[in-house]
Structure 1
Amino acid sequence: MKQLQPDTLIRNPQGKPIVSCVVIACDAARLWKVVGHFGGFDAFIPALSHIEMIGAGVGALRTKCFQDGNLVVEQLNSHDEQAMNMTWTMVYNTLGIARLWAAMAVEPLAKTHARATWTIIAEPNEEEREGFVQFVQDFADNALENVRQLLS
């Protein structure tokens, strides 16, 4: 009998990063408090009905529950309060996404302005290829525009 070896279904996606940025007239700490809260994305993504968290800090899982019944489960890979950045990986979804890795970072531009940058690398399932990149870009752009409105 062949001895079982460690394995995993989680792989980093390949592809060109999809980047969305927003500059907001507020200090970086205030912006980070919104976009750096891994369990709080429902504050600026209206398509979410709620978020369920399992655990806290690096390794925590969040389930994003969408109004339309779709689910996305993601694991927090890194979270640095001082540098104001974090990364996460999708581990399950019902949206037709094969693999997804994302990062959120905030940088101060002046005492009165800050930039949030959301970087996503994602691969669609085979049947979801057409329009996929534009869908992800629009989703991130709309979410960060909601952050601008929330903090303005």
Structure 2
Amino acid sequence: MKALQPDTLIRNPNGVPIVAGVIVNCEAARVWDLVGRFSNFDAFIPALSRIEMIGTGVGALRTKIFHDGNCAVEQLNSRDDDAMHMTWTTIYNTLGVARLWAAINVQALGAQSAKVTWTIIAEPEDTTRKGFEAFVQDFADSALNNVRKLLDKP
């Protein structure tokens, strides 16, 4: 019998990055305080009913529970408060996503303006599924538009 060897089901997705971005008329630090908290995405994604966390910092797991009953479990891979960016990987979900890696970044554009960029690389479970990229793009665009609505100063 062959000895067991280390293995994993987690691997990075392949695909073209889907990028969403908005400019918010608000201080970059305030924008980062909203989008940079891994445990707080329900503050700007109305489809989420709640988030449950296990652990803190890099390696922490969050379970996002959606109002429709779907869920996604994600691991925080990296986070840098000074550079205002973080990355995460989906390790389980009921949304039809085989693999997903994401990054969010906030860039100051002066004292009262910031750009938020959300980059997602994802693969659908069903590779014949039509509209997967559009679904992911619409989800990210909608979330970032909510960030702008919450923080934009006239």
The bucket for the TM-score relative to the shorter chain is: over 0.9
Aligned to 2:39: 39
* TM-score (structure 1 length as normaliser): 0.98
Q: For residues 1-152 of structure 1, what are the structure 2 equivalents within 5 Å?
A: 1-126=1-126, 129-152=129-152
2-structure distance, mates of 1:94, 1:128: 17
Deviations 1:70-112 (A, max 9, x none): 0000000000000000000000000000000000000001111
- Return the TM-score normalized by structure 2: 0.97
Cα distance in structure 1, aligned partners of 2:5 and 2:135: 38
Deviation at 1:39, TM superposition (A): 0.4
String of CA shifts for 1:22-51, please: whole Å, max 9, x gaps.
100011100000000000000000000000
Aligned residues: 152
**Percent identity at matched positions?**
68
Large movers: runs of 4+ above 6 Å: none
**Letter matched to residue 80 of structure 1:** D
Deviation at 1:126, TM superposition (A): 1.7
SS at match of 1:110: coil
Shift of 1:129: 2.1
Gaps of 5+ in 2: none
1:127: how far off? Answer: 5.7
Do the aligned partners of residues 41 and 128 (structure 1) sit closer, same or farther apart at CA in structure 2, a change above 3 Å counting?
Answer: farther
